Amino acid sequence: MSRIDGTAIAQKVHEETRQRIAALAARGIQPGLAVVLVGDDPASRAYVRSKDKRAADLGLHSVKHELPAPTSQADLIALVRTLNADPAIHGILVQSPPPAHIDESAVVVAIDPRKDVDGFHPLNVAKLALDDPTGFVPCTPLGCIRLLQEAGIETAGARAVVVGRSMIVGKPMALLLLRRGTDATVTVAHSRTRDLAAVTREADIVIAAIGRPHFLGAGHIRPGATVIDVGINRIDDPSSPKGYKLVGDVDYDAVAEKCAAITPVPGGVGPMTIALLMANTVTACERLTA
Ligand code: GUN
């Protein structure tokens, strides 16, 4: 079994991004990313912190807006409109999910699609479905594709099963795997799929994006398959100073014995999501300043 090292592959993406940032700097341009968080969900705070830190490390202009949980939808949309109009900002990300009183889709449509580096705006969703390369693709599925490429996993003609149908991962993942040039045969499974294990056991490539700790075990995976674990779940761990540890949607130890290649959690998909977010931000800047 080989362990796909997301941290190392993310570094490679960051090096490419650094070169593109240097080329922009030579023209007197600095890409800017605004990350917005509403509320105090600890996992979301941690994600936003690491995005902001990485952006600053790469030399991006990075702005973090942390708003209190009772912030109104109107105030959040007003902030988005201010960022849309700010020439120093090229990428805008509103951390998902927002508190329950906020209609996320109303916020997403308020983002200028040219600055929607998450690829959540309906225009960008449509462009992905239409194979129009001028849009933005969500960072996590984009990172998963890059992991497969860098690990040398053949996707053309392969049977891929995506477990999960979210707008952030499952659906765009399926479209990317299906795309011409990637050419997988794609099945999307979800919580209502009958005999899930029988479906995933057919797969050469399993993408686990369910959001439940250790949901997929050895019985779900065919010997020799490749497993990409998108899950980042906090489970209690009294032996850790933090009181929790991060585990994926896949029972790593059980599956690692059977499969050909697998991404760990942490150190797999997580660093790639951030790397592709930075790359998307630089793309937004290049397009807006072309
Ligand atoms: N929440 C979980 N993943 C993501 C992501 O990629 N972008 C945003 N904005 N929120 C998320």
Report H helices in the chain.
6-26, 42-58, 73-85, 104-110, 122-129, 139-150, 170-178, 196-200, 252-256, 269-288
Q: What is the pLDDT, as a whole number, of residue 136? A: 99
Q: Which residue is catalytic, options 52, 112, 118, 204?
A: 118
Backbone angles phi, psi at 36, to 5 degrees: -115, 130
Instruction: Pick the closest to residue 165 from 208, 115, 197 (CA basis).
Output: 208
Q: What is the pLDDT, as a whole number, of residue 144? A: 99
Residue 161 CA, ligand 1 centroid: distance in Å:
22
Q: What is the pLDDT, as a whole number, of residue 129? A: 98
Per-residue pLDDT of the chain (290 residues; tens, 9 = 90+): 899 999 999 999 999 999 999 999 999 999 999 999 999 999 999 999 999 999 999 999 999 999 999 999 999 999 999 999 999 999 999 999 999 999 999 999 999 999 999 999 999 999 999 999 999 999 999 999 999 999 999 999 999 999 999 999 999 999 999 999 999 999 999 999 999 999 999 999 999 999 999 999 999 999 999 999 999 999 999 999 999 999 999 999 999 999 999 999 999 999 999 999 999 999 999 999 99
Q: Residue 210: CB within 6 Å of ligand 1? A: no
Q: Residue 283: CB within 6 Å of ligand 1? A: no
Q: Residue 186: CB within 6 Å of ligand 1? A: no
Q: Residue 71: CB within 6 Å of ligand 1? A: no
Name the pTM for this structure: 0.98
* CA–CA separation, 219 and 240 (whole Å): 29
Reduced to 3 states (helix: H, G, I; strand: E, B; else coil), residue 222 is: coil
Q: What is the pLDDT, as a whole number, of residue 1? A: 87
Given the CA of residue 138, which atom of ligand 1 is nearest to it? 6
